[in-house]
Every structure is written in C-alpha cells, then in structure tokens.
Chain A
Amino acid sequence: MDVTEQVGRTNQLKDQIGERCQKLFQDFLEEFSVDGEQKYLGEVQELIRPERNTLTVGYDDVEKYNQQLATTILEEYYRVYPFLCRAVRNYAKDWGQIPPNKEFYVSFTDVPSRLKVRELTTSKMGTLLRITGQVVRTHPVHPELVCGTFMCLECRTIIKDVEQQFKYTQPSICRNPVCNNRSKFMLDVNKSRFVDFQKVRIQETQAELPRGSIPRSVEVILRAEAVEMAQAGDKCDFTGTLIVVPDVSSLSIPGARAETGAKVSGNQGYENEGVRGLKALGVRDLNYRMAYLACTVTSTNARFGGSSLKEEEMTAENVKKQMTDEEWQKVYDMSRDKNLYQNLCSSLFPTIHGNEEIKRGILLMLFGGVPKQTTELTKLRGDINICIVGDPSTAKSQFLKQVEEFSPRAVYTSGKASTAAGLTAAVVKDEESHEFVIEAGALMLADNGVCCIDEFDKMDPKDQVAIHEAMEQQTISITKAGVRATLNARTSILAAANPIGGRYDRSKSLKQNITLTAPIMSRFDLFFILVDECNEVTDYAIARRIVDLHSRNEESVDRIYSVEDISRYLMFARQFKPKISVESQEYMIEEYKRLRQRDGTGAAKSAWRITVRQLESMIRLSEGMARMHCQDEVQPKHVKEAFRLLNKSIIRVEQPDIHLEEEGAEPETVTMETEEAAPPQETPEEAPVDATGAAGKGPKKALKLSYDEYKQMANLLVLYMRKAEEEQEGEDSPGLRRSNLISWYLGEMESEIESEAELLEKKTVIEKVLDRLVHHDHVLIELAQTGLSRKNKRDEDTLVRDDDPFLVVHPNYVVD
C-alpha cells in the first residue's frame, strides 16, 4: 500500500491524531524553555527571513517535554509531519509577518532510532529513523511543485491547492459542476508553490557492509534547507523516513498520464481489458520504488581535504551515544580488563607467532598519541610511526595486511607498485572539464588512519621525501600544473622494509642494513627488526602453529575480542586526550636522561643518537598507553611501558651476538662514534683498550655469547641477587659483593665444568657479563664507595676485583 496515498486520504478525513499533534507541538514550541528562556523563539523569528524556512528541533527536547508526543512523532512520523509543519507556521505567524503562502518545515536532530541501510524494510515505512551512508551521487537541485493552482481549459475555473506528491497530479474533475472536464487543465506557475528539491543516492558505508556483499544504496529525497548539504563522497547522517513512491516511470506514460493519479481510480477500467496488454493500457507493475525522505542531513566526517571540525569535536560522550547498550557494555568490560594489553595483542594478530613487541607497538600505534599545538602554532603530531625491518618470509606483510583488515581507515600499498602520485597526491586533468583536479593518494586516503607501506625500501627516493613531510608535518603539499595545495595527511605510517642484501646482517648496525635516509629513519617512533632466527624451541612452536593452520584452520584462530569489538573500543578510546601527570613528567625526564647517557657512553652501537625525537616518541607512546586504558592522565606505569618498548625497539637493533671482547667490531664503532657531533669522553680511550685487549688475547678463541645465552645468564644472576636481597632485608649489608656473586655462579656451574681451563674460561665470561650488566645494560648497579674512576674498571679484571664493590639489581629491572 502506498503511504502517500494513505496520507492524502487521511488528510481529507481530518486526522485527529494529526490535529492533536499539531496542537501539542505548537505548545511545545511555545513553552519549551531552557534556563527560563524559550528555546525555539529566536530560531522561529529567524525563519521570517525569506531564505529560511526550516526549523531544527532537537528530538530529545520533545522527549523531555512530552514523552507521548515524542513517541507519536517517532512512530507516525510521515502521518503527522504536515501537521508539525503547520504548527511551526502558526507559531511563526504569532511572532511576525510572514508571506501568506510561505511553507515551513521541521527538521529533527538527535533521533535515537539509528538503522543501517540494510535494515530498511517495509516494516520501517513511515517511522522516524536515522541512517548513515556515503553519498555517491547527487542530482541538481530543482524546484518541486508542492501545491498546484490549475485552471480549467474549458470553463476557466481556477482550482487552488491541489496537493502534489512526487508526481504531477491534476485535479480529478473540474470544480465547476456543469463542466465535465477531467483532463484539460493548465498549471498556473505563478500561483503555485514550490520547494527546493534534490535527490541524492547514498550507499552503505564500508563499516556496515557484510562480507561478500555489494553495498546497497537508497535514494534520498532532500527538500527545503536540506538540499546541497551533502556532497558526493561525504559520509552523512540522514534523519527522516522510508517511503514508497509509485514507480513514476512506469505510471506516467504519455497519453495515460491523466488517469494515473494516485487519488484517481479511474484508470482501473483499463486493467480489465488485458492483463498482458501494453503498459500504456494500465497494466500494473507490482514493484514500487523505495526512497528515503530526509529532513535533516548532518555530516559525520570532514569533507575530503577540508577542515575537520567535526572529527575534533567528537568526544567520548558522543561516541558512547552512538553505541547500543550492548556495545557500550562490551567496551566498558574491555576497559576494566586487567589483561587488556595482552588480550588486545593476541586478538589482533592471532595467527602470527611470537613477535610480541611488534604487536604491542602496533597496538599503541592504533591508539596513538595526542596531537598538540604549541603557542607558536606549531603542530606536534600524535601519530606513531613504526617501521619493521626484517628478513623475507617473517610475516612482515602479514602484520601490515592485518592492520589494514581491521583498521577502519587504513590503506595498504606497496612501495614497489606505487609511484609518487600513488602514494601522496596527484594533479590530474579532468577529462570532461579539462580542469585540474587533485586526486587522492594513499596517504590522503588514510587521513586519520594508518597507511601501511610494504616494501618501503623499494620506494623511489623522491617518494620517501614526499612521505617525509607527511610524517612530520602531517600535510602534503603539491605544486604542479598551476595547482598549489596543502592537504591533510594525518596518518600513522606502518612500513615494512627488507634489509640490504635480503637478510639482516647482525654484525652491522641498523643504518647499514637498510637503505633509508637518516631523516626518514628518525621519524619512525619505533623500529623493529625481525630476524629469521634458528632456534629449536621457536621453530617447533612455529611448526606447530603452521601445521595447525593447515589442518584445522577455524579452531586455530581464536580471539578473545572480535574485530568489531576492538575497532569499537579503539574508536572510543581514541577520544581520550590524556594529560601527563607530574610524576610521569619526572619519570620521563629521568628515563630520557638515562637514555641520553647511555647513548653518550657510546658502547652501545645505537642506531641513531637519542634526541628529542625519542623523547617525543616516548610521550606519544605513553599517551597511547593511557588511551588504551581509557585514562585521562598519563601515569608513570604508562611511561614505563613506553620506555620499555622504545628501549626494545632500539636495543633490538644492537642484539648481535654479544662480543664480550668487542673485537672485530671496533672499526665500525670508531667510525660511527666519530660521526657523532660530541663524542663522549670515554670513547677515545675505550677503543684502544679494546684493541689491545683483543690483540693480547689474539690466539684465544673469541669470547662470544649469543644474545640468548647472555640473557639467560643475566636472568640467573638477577634472580639469585633478588632472592639474596630479600633475605638480607633489614640487615645492614647493602648487597652482595661482586666476588661472592662470581663464586656463587661458578658453584652453580660446577657440574658443567670439567677442567681447570674451562673453569678459568667460565670465570672470564662471568666477569665480562657482569661488566656488561653494570655498564652496558644498567641492570646491576655498583655501589663502589671507593672513589675509583669508572673508566679504569674495564681494562683489568684484577683492579676491579680489588675493589670488589657491592652489586645490587636496578630496582626497575624486570626479568623477562
């Protein structure tokens, strides 16, 4: 049944509900006040201006004023809409002079009943709804006849106020009782009323689209002030109702038009004649066209390339409002999850084995830091950039692909395949208008999202430069063919690169392993190295994982949180703008100082110098941490994790086998250090010392431990020391003496030691390890009361042993 026809009929019968609504609504407009002031008075007075005709009413206001009225409007929207408009008109009349035939309209905002495009079914017809969609096509605005005034061509009688609904409707019969004219009328354009009319088509948004389906679309009819609000490409909210319109195209056939009016049933006669006849004879197609009549259009995202006020205005409250109760409950539960960090990681990458740090890094990237603006209006980015460098076939691409999969605004692109234009933005000539237009590149498409770039190293250096700007300034400027524009590209970059020569060479520094320029490298907050390590335990785990995948793939993918849950949570959490607390500030300063110092000691072949950039990264990561826990304040524990991650990402770079003798590597060390602007004091001395040491022990086999062995030893020692410290608590003793520790360790190893030579060897090793733990990794702290200068400790063991300082574990050290 055609709703439009229903309304037409009920109109004539004096719709009681409608009348009542009209009265109530007028009362509402007159009485509803906030803080003693009539809320809608000012706005109604505005409507008197000739270009205005639509009053915007908050639905929640109506709800507050009269629940029943609100419910009626919601359920019988299409039926009562004309009455509501009339109420506005009457109210406006009370307050000023209005032209007699000016039409007024109402538009509602904040309507609670939100639906997906896919959920628009016949049962929803006529009720007030809100749908979200992407505008894919707009038609030009043109006037629509609302109320026609006709003149009978036979007797010249004027017939006024013939209501029109979507199709041209002539009077059924001339009002002049003696005139039997049914078809010959002329429209008097000057005395008829028109309204602006625009048709747009919206399409299901990507987020709502079920997998494997083609997005559905629906025609939206916009009238009055709602026209020209939406541009193709915008994502908009439309408030209004679903209607069916008689298929105009199948009805208005030349010659038969006069008879096809909805209120006229005269055409039925034709149907008797032949069901198989031609359309002109009135065969009824069973199909109706469905359309959505919208009264309010609100943009949900910023226009492409334009300013994005909306996005920034979005608050956690807003996001919460858009969720259903269930969804909100889930988000709430997630925010209370003690194991959230871990659970999110494992849910995001269920099929990737290990690489926990990378997962954590990517997770924090998704939450992101808070963008800031200094008083000098310099923008500080909040986005976190990550680069993964690794051997082939180490699941790099899978990380990227996975991020693209669940991040709402992520773009995946390969450095090899994309040209400068493909990644940034291009100026192209429009084929029809011959104008230059700007075509979005991957970075722009990912504005406010993530841009995943695979094979970053394969990218043209020119492109890398273009990206450079995007990474720090968060904009892209193009000057080409007379077009000059600065476009927003506030995107996090997740890049994957292959090392030079295909495999990561552990003996070289990160810089020497990839073909990225220093400025670009320094713009990455985190660098992760994926090395195809050969280790029986992990190999076995990997084998298991893969075999599992291949044998029963459904079960092996288990997530604690579904992808939808996570993206919802991300959206919510990203609204937080955590501030850094005082303790956190101090903690940060402390850690930064330490990083700087360690960098200064030069012993670490750090990939780059620790600069303010790393401090900024630390801040961003901490903010991301705080956001993840939905907290408004960055706490020291957040900083701690950020620092750990940052440390990992830098330290991982220098995790070749631990050369306790530092041999073989010095030439590089030296050249690298000299590059630095201010070489730390110790460096010049250290290198020769090492060199002599190496020379002295020339024939001896090089002392080399794999990183894992080293780590294992360190953990063993630390655990023992912690235990000892606990036992000694309360006692005066500040800790274990170095010699005690060594002898304990050797005692532990007793079973493995067979000869004296071995014992000596072990001893040297443990001493070297201790040295390293103290000076290098700052795991242990020496409490040397004797004022011996530190630099001397390294060159001869005996000297140190004489001091035999107390050793304690660094209070912040976490065994992992």
Chain B
Amino acid sequence: MPSIEDWINDPLGIIQNIFDKQQNLDSSNVKNYFTEKLKTKNALTWIPSLNDSSLHTLKPNSLVRFRCIVQDMFDPEFYLGSYEVKDVVTGQTTMKSGKYKDIAECGANQSIDLDSMNNKTMDRMTLYCVPVPGESSWVKTANTDMSKVKTKCYPSTSQTPMRCKRNRDNNETMETSPVDNSEDSCQGQPFSSVVGDTDIMETDSIEIKRKQTNKSEPGSSKISDLNFPLPSETGPACIVKVYDDIDSYKVNDVVEFVGVLSVDPSLAIFPGNGDGDHPLLGGVEESIEELHAHAPPPSLVPRLHAVLCNHLAHVNPLVPNTGTEEYSTVLENIQREVTTLREELLSILELSLLGDRLAAEYLLCNLVASVYGRADVMPLGKFGLNLSNCPSTPTYSQLLHHLISNLVTQTHLVHMSLDNMNKLPFSPHKDYTANRLCSGILQLACQTNLVLDETSLGAGQLDVQGVKNLAALGNLITWQKVEYDFNFHRQEFMADVSVLILSEGRSILPSDCLLPLQYSGAPDDLRTHFTQLDSRLTEDFLRRCRTYLGLARNLQYSLNDDIQKKIQDDFVDMRKDDPKNMTVDDFHSLLSLTRLLSLSDLKSSPTSEIWSRAKVLENSRKQRVSQLPTRERSA
C-alpha cells in the first residue's frame, strides 16, 4: 500500500486538499475518504493506537486511534472553521480550514488575518475520554498484537511517563506496584504467581491515599489525577474533539476514535500567565482548577480531533463485528464445539468454586449477563448473583477475580472493607470549581463484571459516605443505574454491570439470585488449590473461552410463540401448586435464567429442554436457600 504513509502521516494535508476542492466545509467527503481507506482488510491495524504506544513515539498531527469511554463531556467550543491567510509579499489571500486542528498555521511570508470577514466561526464538541475502565490485560495485549505498527519502546505497557514519575515520587512504590498491577500485568501468568504475600487490604488503602493526595494538591505544578474511574487504571487520557453528530455521544459510551493527534505544547495553559493582573477588568478567564481540568499539558493529555468514530458494542478483540462474514465463521466454529467448551469451562468454574457444580452454572450465567433492554424503569437481562458461604479471606476473592478477568473483557474487584466503603468514591460527582465530572468506581462501561468481596467487611461504623456508597451499589444492582451527584440535583445514568457478590452470609446488598456455596471443607491453601487450574488454562483454551463468552453475551435472543405459551402455562400451573413459591419476581428471574442458559448454549431461542433445566436449577437453588437459617425474610 503506497499511499498508506500519506494518509496516516499527513492527514491534515489531505483534508485541506479535499476542502480546497469542494470549496466548502462539509466534512462528509473527508469521512468518506478515510472510510474508504479503512475498508481494506486490517487497514485499521496500520494506524498506531494511543492505547498501546507511548505518546512520545507518535508523530504529532498524524492519524491515531484510541479505544476509550467518554468519561466527561465538556462544553462545546467555538473555533475558526476557516480562516484567511494573506501572503505578505504578494498580498494574495487564501482560505484555510481550521477543522481537525488546534493551531492556526500558515507558511513562510504569510500571515493570518483574524479580522477577515471571510473567517467562519463554527462549533465542535469536546469530550474527555479515558481508557475503558477495568479492561482485562488480555484485551490490551490482543489489541497490541494485532497492531501492525510496532512502536520502538514500551511495547505493551501503556503507562505514560507521568505515571512513572508519580510512582517514583511515591515512597511506597516498591510495595505497591507489584500488587497494584497484579490485576493487569500478570496476564497469562500462572495462578501461583498471582498473589504475593502482600496484604491486599493495604493496597487499597494506598490507592485511597493516592486519590487523596491527588485531591489535596490541585494547584501544584503536577496536574491532578487524570480522573480515571478505577484507581488502578493506567493509560492515557485524551481530550477528543468531535465535529459531527455531537449529540450522539453519551457518557460512558465505548468508542474507538480515529483522528488527528494534536500535542502542540502551546495548548497547555499554565497557571499564572493566564489570568493576568488586571483586577479592573472582568475577564472571562477560568480558574486554575478549571484550567487544569480543561487544558492540561498535551504531553499528558493529548488532543485528538476525531475524523471517524466507531461506537463499540463490546471491546472483545476476538469477536468480529456482527453481520460480517468473519463473524459468522467464528460463530459457527464455536457453535460446533459449544457443548464440550461449555462443559470444560463449567468444570473449571466448578473447581474455582470449590467443587460446587450448581454455583458454576450460575456463575457462567452471571458472566454472560448484560442488560438488553429496559421496560420503563425495569432493567431486563441483569443477573446479580450473590454467592454466600464463601471462604472468608480476601485471597479467595482475588483468585476468583483473576480467573474471571482472564475470561471476560472488563472486570473490577472491590473489597468492601469498611475503610473502602467509607472512603472510596463510588458515584461520580461534579466538581464545579474545576467544572468537571470527578469519576467514581461505579462509572463503568457496559458489559463490565463487577466483583464485590463482602467477606472483607467487618463490624464497625459506616459514615455518611459509606451509607451513600452502599445505597449506590444497591441501586446499581436493582435498577442498573448510577446516580451522579450534580450537587444541586442528582442525575441517573444507565449502567450495564453484571455484579457478583461474594459473602459469608446473605449479602447486605440486594441481588437477583442468592446461592450459598456448598463444599466439603475448604482446601488448606487456596493458592495451591487454584494452581491446579494453571495446566488447564492453556492459551488456546482461554482464547476459545473468551470468544465463546464474547459471542454468548452479544447474541440476539428471542422467544418463539410455542415456548412462550408453554412458559405462560407453566407459570399458571406453578402458581396453582404453590403461589408462595412462584411470585412475579421469581418468574422474572426464571425467565432471565432461561435466557442466559440459552445464550450460554449459543442458542438465540430457548428450547423446552432449557426451560426445564432452568426450573430444575432454580428449584435446587431455592432448596439450598431454604436451608439457610432464616433471618428476616424481606424482599
């Protein structure tokens, strides 16, 4: 491909040519041009990605891509859509396009006429984007491996130089970093090396400390934190400027942008030189905090002028886009071996759940659950699972979470210790001083698996923040919504997070489905127990599992009339037999379970066999639940 260098390295030149040719600023031709270029197979992989290359290896004003979620939406900004350039010598004037760039440029012997009547002001939207929170390391690696451009240094660590610096400043670095990154960087590593002897609880408190120090030094020369939803996150944040369909972007959308990278150092506005010293003038300058948030140094937060954007339904690199030929092949391949694959995966989950087969079935359902619709306020398809009677040690939740993160695309583990509940920010809130949305743990992209470890909760006092956090979690599980605090009011945002709660007794949080684990005696050493999995989790097997789960989660699902009728009749019959045992809620969860079981079979419609299987599973689950010491039985 001879032209490749051109359109990747000098997109602005090409854009200017297009605008010159068509004599207006309609960007559809620009989009068409680049879409055309990217049509060729794997063309996308030729574009360097901000996710896996460090910033200094990328050329300014070249085409890059960035896979991210929209963390915050700033206000639209006005810019010069086209400006007049005057040749100083000849006096000739030409129009230049200001689209897709931050800085007005002109050649030698030319000057920009800012007062020209031909200049045109236009508006564009600015989005603050961060890497997908909780993205499993295998997703990152797979993307890097697919990329054709190999950057010379730092091949796969996506840490920005700033992060390194921060760590060096931190006295506890030595202690933190190995554990800190354990969730992300030990991909492919055997379980034996997952958990060091460092106490995890400590990690969390350090995370908190870091958050706090970041907050307490907003005016310092170091830019305050990059506003990642999860504290352990690394990778670049980016201010993306979008030109078309401004209103189609929603917060928390997962998007892959392809655009022009802009890192001109002059974009940074340093405090002290902006607000001038003219108290007599009512300037409209921003406060220092706001400048930090909105105009951070581009070396830290690069700007990206989006030419094309691609809303992603999922980030699984192993599942091609639906509708393509590739997709059908992959689906067929996996469908062929789905029975054995499912069986194998179940046995692995069974082992990790200390030999509980029933729990393994439910966990599998939990892994493929996602909200597929909302009937008014009721989210459909969610499947919050509460596994009670778990071994009460943080190691267990960490090992289990590690296994899950090896299977699904996005996960996060929260130890619900009192300290964490009281101090960690869960719901995002708006900071009006800096005019930005401060992120919280619950600002997650769709199809994220959240693991809550309630076994770390001890007796003690929950303060106001803790109660709020607990309520936020409950809200998320029940309604799949997170309330963002806008100070004067709260605004609900939709979420799609599959929650798994590991607890000793019944969880204090609501859940769709409670299941006490049954096992005969916990193994002496959980780590050794999990190392049994090492030999079975081969790279090839993991690959197939990931594809399988990705496919299952995004499969279309429908109920045909026959099975509908059967289900309805069954419900009425069951009600007749024992109305107490089959309430409307029970029916809801039974239907959800049926759906998830069919999906896990890669079937888009349930058979009556699956329906009966769901009933059997629910019955044995209820039986176990009924054996629990009854506390107050309330919904």
CB within 8 Å for A287 and B579 given contacts A166-B284, A199-B284, A212-B494:
no
Q: Does A536 contact B (CB under 8 A)?
A: yes
Q: How far is the CA of A40 from the CA of B117 in the complex (A)?
A: 39
Q: Check A648 for interface membership: any CB of B closer than 8 A.
A: no
Residue among A279, A283, A290, A540 making CB contact with B76, cutoff 8 Å:
A290
Contact of A249 among B98, B120, B274, B587 (CB under 8 A): B274
In the complex formed, the residue of B with least CB distance to A414 is B471
- Give the docked Cα–Cα distance between A1 and B479 (Å): 48
Task: Mark out the residues of chain A between 378 and 396 whose CB falls within 8 Å of any chain B CB in the assembled complex.
Answer: 391-395
Query: Across the interface, do B568 and A284 meet the contact criterion of CB distance under 8 Å?
Result: no
A: number of interface residues (CB 8 Å)? 103
A542-572: which residues lie under 8 A (CB-CB) from chain B? 542-544, 546-547, 549-554, 556-557
* Contact across chains for A553 and B73 when beta carbons are under 8 A apart: no
Partner of A206, one of B77, B247, B491: B491
Q: How far is the CA of A554 from the CA of B516 in the complex (A)?
A: 35
Quick one: given A286-B80, A392-B635, are A275 and B106 in contact (CB under 8 Å)? Answer: yes
Given A249-B274, A286-B103, A414-B471, A167 and B283 contact (CB-CB distance below 8 Å): yes
Contact of A288 among B78, B378, B467, B479 (CB under 8 A): B78
Q: Is A507 an interface residue (CB 8 A)?
A: no
A729 within 8 A of B: no
A561 to chain B, nearest CB (A): 14
B102 contacts A287, C-beta separation under 8 Å: yes
A219 contacts B73, C-beta separation under 8 Å: no
B76–A216 touching, CB < 8 Å: yes
- Minimal beta-carbon separation of A539 from chain B (angstroms): 5
For residue A810, CB closer than 8 A to chain B, the reply is: no
A122 at the interface (CB under 8 A from B): yes
Is A252 an interface residue when CB atoms closer than 8 A count as contact? yes
Answer whether residue B623 sits at the interface, using C-beta atoms and an 8 A cutoff.
no
Do the beta carbons of A268 and B111 come within 8 Å of each other? yes
In the bound complex, what is the Cα–Cα distance between A544 and B479 (angstroms)? 22
Q: Are A393 and B559 in contact (CB under 8 A)?
A: no
A554 CA to B380 CA in the complex, in Å? 11
Q: A288-B77, A554-B373 are in contact. Are A543 and B568 (CB under 8 A)?
A: yes
B525 at interface, CB cutoff 8 A: no
The CA-CA distance from A269 to B486 in the complex, in Å, is 46
Q: Are A550 and B380 in contact (CB under 8 A)?
A: yes
Give the contact-size bracket for chain B. Answer: 35 or more
Q: Is B276 an interface residue (CB 8 A)?
A: yes
Select the residue from A198, A265, A289, A414 with max chain B CB neighbours within 10 A: A289
A250 engages B274 (CB within 8 Å): yes
Closest-CB distance, A461 to chain B (whole angstroms): 17
Please, what's the 1-or-0 string for B432-452, where 1 marks a CB less than 8 Å from any CB in chain A? 110101000000000000000
Complex Cα spacing A166 to B283, Å: 6
Q: Contacts A187-B280, A394-B584 hold; do A249 and B275 have CB atoms under 8 A apart? A: yes
Which one of B109, B278, B479, B586 contacts A401 once the chains associate, using CB atoms below 8 Å? B479
Q: How far is the CA of A106 from the CA of B575 in the complex (A)?
A: 72
Q: A217-B75, A550-B591 are in contact. Are A393 and B585 (CB under 8 A)?
A: yes
Stretch from A142-150, A588-596, A671-679 forming part of the interface with B = A142-150
Which of the segments B43-51, B149-157, B172-180, B264-272 contacts the partner chain? B264-272
Q: Is B213 an interface residue (CB 8 A)?
A: no
Digit string of B79-105 for contact with A (CB within 8 Å is 1, else 0)?
A: 110010000100000000010011111
Contact with B along A182-219 (1 / 0, CB 8 A): 00000101000010011101010010011111111111
A217 to B585, CA, bound (A): 42
Contacts of B78 in A (CB 8 A): 122, 244, 287-290
As a 0/1 sequence over residues 99 to 130 of chain B, the CB contacts with chain A under 8 angstroms (1 = contact) are 00111111011111111110111110000000
B533 in the interface (beta carbon within 8 A): no
A786 to chain B, nearest CB (A): 48
B377 at interface (Cβ–Cβ under 8 A)?
yes
Please, which residues of chain B bring their CB within 8 A of the CB of A166? 281-284
Q: Of B72, B104, B280, which is within 8 A of A144 by CB? A: B280
Distance between B555 CB and nearest chain A CB, rounded to angstroms: 14
Asked whether any CB of chain A lies closer than 8 Å to the CB of B198, the reply is no
Q: How would residues 655 to 686 of chain A score, 1 for a CB under 8 Å from any chain B CB and 0 otherwise? A: 00000000000000000000000000000000
Within the complex, the shortest CB–CB distance from B488 to chain A, in Å, comes to 5
- A219 vs B435: C-alpha distance in the bound complex, in angstroms? 11
Q: Are A143 and B558 in contact (CB under 8 A)?
A: no
- Let me know if A547 and B567 touch, CB within 8 A: yes
Contacts A194-B280, A249-B269 known; A121 to B376 CB distance under 8 Å?
Answer: no
Instruction: Indicate whether B571 reaches chain A with its CB closer than 8 angstroms.
Output: yes
Shortest C-beta distance, B289 to chain A (Å), equals: 11
Please judge, given known A-B contacts A122-B78, A272-B88, A534-B579, whether A553 and B375 are in contact too, CB under 8 Å. Answer: yes
Partner of B106 from A201, A254, A271, A542 at Cβ < 8 Å: A271
CB of B591 within 8 A of CB of A532, answer no
Measured between beta carbons, the chain A residues less than 8 angstroms from B376 are 350-351, 398, 402, 405, 557
Contact B73–A1 (Cβ < 8 Å): no
Which B residues lie within 8 Å of A350 (CB)? Answer: 376
Contact B584 A546 (CB under 8 A): yes
- Indicate if the CB atoms of B375 and A532 lie closer than 8 Å: no
Are B633 and A536 within 8 A (Cβ)? no
Tell me which of A265, A289, A393 contacts B584 (CB under 8 A).
Answer: A393
Q: How far is the CA of A498 from the CA of B378 in the complex (A)?
A: 20
Contact A136 B494 (CB under 8 A): no
C-alpha spacing A257/B376, complex, angstroms:
57
B592 at the interface (CB under 8 A from A): yes
Q: A265–B435 contact, CB under 8 A? A: no
* Residue pair B250, A213 in contact (C-beta under 8 Å): yes
Q: Mark B609-635, 1 if CB is under 8 A from A, else 0.
A: 000000000000000000000000111
CB pair B267 A543 closer than 8 Å = no
Report the bound CA distance from A395 to B635 in whole Å: 11
Residues of B close to A277: CB separation below 8 A: 266
Quick one: given A1-B117, A215-B491, A417-B471, are A351 and B579 in contact (CB under 8 Å)? no
**Residue interface mask A233-265, B partner, CB < 8 A = 1:** 100000000001100111011100100000001
Known contacts being A210-B247, A271-B112, is A550 close to B568, with CB within 8 Å?
no
Best-buried of A134, A278, A287 by chain B (most CB within 10 Å): A287
Contact of B378 among A122, A209, A398 (CB under 8 A): A398
A283 touches B115 (CB 8 A): no
Residues B373 and A142 in contact, CB atoms below 8 Å apart: no
Cα distance A122–B77 in the bound complex, in angstroms: 10
Tell me if A164 counts as interface (CB < 8 A to partner B). yes
Whether B112 lies near A268 (C-beta < 8 A) is yes
Question: Which residues of B22-36 are within 8 A (CB) of A?
Answer: none
Can you offer 21 A-B residue contacts whose CB atoms are under 8 A?
A1-B121, A122-B121, A125-B121, A168-B276, A201-B435, A210-B247, A212-B493, A214-B72, A218-B75, A249-B283, A271-B106, A272-B109, A283-B103, A286-B101, A419-B467, A498-B634, A532-B584, A539-B572, A543-B587, A546-B584, A547-B591
Which 6 pairs across A and B sit closest by C-beta, in order of nearness?
A: A249-B274, A212-B250, A197-B282, A392-B635, A393-B585, A551-B559
Known interface pairs A1-B121, A553-B373; 19 further A-B residue pairs with C-beta atoms within 8 A, sorted by A's residue number: A1-B117, A1-B120, A121-B76, A212-B251, A213-B247, A216-B73, A233-B488, A248-B284, A249-B285, A257-B276, A271-B106, A284-B114, A286-B98, A287-B102, A395-B584, A540-B568, A543-B571, A546-B588, A554-B373
Binding site for A on B (CB under 8 A): 72-73, 75-80, 83, 88, 98, 101-106, 108-117, 119-123, 247, 249-252, 264-267, 269, 273-276, 278-286, 291, 372-378, 380, 432-433, 435, 437, 467, 470-471, 474, 479, 486-489, 491, 493-494, 558-559, 564, 567-568, 571-572, 575-576, 579, 583-588, 591-592, 595, 633-635
Give me the interface of A with B, judged by CB distance under 8 Å: 1-2, 5, 118, 121-122, 125, 134, 136-137, 142-145, 164, 166-168, 187, 189, 194, 197-199, 201, 203, 206, 209-219, 221, 232-233, 244-245, 248-250, 252-254, 257, 265, 268-269, 271-272, 275-279, 283-291, 350-351, 391-395, 398, 401-402, 405, 414, 417, 419, 498, 502, 532, 534, 536, 539-540, 542-544, 546-547, 549-554, 556-557
